[in-house]
Structure 1
């Protein structure tokens, strides 16, 4: 077994996909939140933006937990 961590052995595409999806969710949440806060009558977009932001945080938490699980070494 090499000295590198299992996280380093994961395909680069998987890491880039996860990072891209997280950033797109955060950007969408920010845009929806700004539009919902500024535009009169579109308060529901602010709520949707908050929900999307929470979904992005949950996605990040699941992704980090999964990658942490792969880093454990067998003794």
Structure 2
């Protein structure tokens, strides 16, 4: 469960936990996706929701470009 508190209002975001061998880069990927959605005009809660959906789908469908298995490869997705 992730929480966003904006102007005293609590927004809750939850997704199923994914059992993956590596998740290096998830924070950077999430923050970049939030920034991209804000640039597209989303309000903050909508931007966070879209970014979390993007990150979850990226993790579910990513494949390894290298053999380390430790990084999120966000570039193998479509648009944010």
On whether the aligned pair clears a TM of 0.5, the verdict is: no
The normalised TM-score by structure 1 is 0.33
Q: Which has the larger radius of gyration?
A: 1
Structure number with higher strand proportion: 2
